[in-house]
Structure 1
């Protein structure tokens, strides 16, 4: 988990966009990590071996995501294809670290749980996990595309196309906007579609709720006071 998160931070620092687009750690990867590590049959028995195992899973997920995306294949399998290989390497990892498995103890388990809780809380506060990641919202990708960030424009256009298919007139007009022409501002009728980002339908569709959400997502002009 930490390996994938740190890679995401470094990637953002180098490119100005997010590697997984709408999250530092996709929820499916997050769940996969915990299911693998908590099952004794799918993780090394040594403590150092588990750390190496986790780092290998995180790095292999990143590598597979990039490779599958480059080949035009579904990136969903980035969290699955490496699992059989990692499972077969458990004994090799344990032998490589030359560490003797320790019997479980309450004190050590409590220490691990405390460290995990602290790391999870820190990552949540830094938007490493959760539903407030900036990459979920269109304004981030709109700005990144305007700045010429690599891969930003294709992703932005794909999301806008999805919003157009859902019935947003603004999104359909955005797809036809000539280069060099400023983007129009979405209307209140577009907000329930374009503000949802990569998540499900918006619950609060009142005018005040939609305008507040548009401001939080940093849509141009959304935070301006009414005339």
Structure 2
């Protein structure tokens, strides 16, 4: 089981890198390695049987059996969750959910950061975030992190304009002009959902506090104003 799990983990990381390089959807990384691993079960079992009689494995196995497996499993999981809690990794917030994080990483030319930024903004644009659509339009207009595409830029600017973002409407009328602005409250309700439901019922003070925690510096000022 341990070897199977370790191979699965390595397989997921390897397939993610491969699929990313090929431009294929990366969510298949957790699926494609399962059939191969299932076919390798007999080989893994034979390998384990072959090493069982030898030195370290035999002594470790004897000590394991004396102690019992349940207490060991419980101790391992308790230690794991305590460590995750201490690191603040047990709540819904994750660095990978933060658009400012990916924007900064892209500016620093970190591996796949710009591609990931475009993917996230595309997802939020499809969810009708005018800010995300405007950002995509700006990217395709500027041609800095992605190849310039005037037609595609106009499509994104037009959608953002339809969603009542004035900056995008100006870009539609003046195609050589790129206008950026901070996300509106409605956009934040989509951008800060952390993989969960849209935050339509969250109060604006809580919304801006959450945005501030995610690295949106403008929201920190709004949070202070809301708190007064």
Question: For the superposition of Structure 1 and Structure 2, which TM-score range results when normalised by the shorter chain?
Answer: 0.5 to 0.7
- Alignment-derived partner of residue 93 in structure 1: 47
Larger helix proportion of the pair: 2
- Alignment-derived partner of residue 186 in structure 1: 183
Match status 1:68 vs 2:67:
no
- Alignment-derived partner of residue 166 in structure 2: none
**Where does the alignment leave 5 or more consecutive residues of structure 1 unmatched?**
1-42, 44-49
- TM alignment of 1:1-227, pairs within 5 A: 43=1, 50=2, 52-80=3-31, 81-82=33-34, 83-98=37-52, 99=57, 107-128=68-89, 130-177=91-138, 179=142, 183-202=180-199, 204-224=201-221, 225-226=224-225
The normalised TM-score by structure 2 is 0.65
Q: Number of paired residues?
A: 178
Q: CA deviation at 1:143?
A: 1.3
**Contact in 2 for aligned 1:68/1:78 (Cα 8 Å):** yes
Q: Distance in 2 between matches of 1:148 and 1:135?
A: 16
Q: Distance in 2 between matches of 1:96 and 1:90?
A: 10
Q: Distance in 1 between matches of 2:66 and 2:191?
A: 51
**Contact in 1 for aligned 2:93/2:194 (Cα 8 Å):** no
Q: Answer 1 or 2: higher relative contact order, Cα 8 Å, separation at least 6.
A: 1
**Contact in 2 for aligned 1:164/1:172 (Cα 8 Å):** yes
Q: Distance in 2 between matches of 1:115 and 1:53?
A: 18
Q: CA deviation at 1:126?
A: 2.3
**Contact in 1 for aligned 2:99/2:117 (Cα 8 Å):** yes
Post-superposition Cα deviations, 1:139-171, rounded to whole Å, max 9, x if no partner, equal 111111122222111111121122122222211
The normalised TM-score by structure 1 is 0.66
**Contact in 1 for aligned 2:102/2:114 (Cα 8 Å):** yes
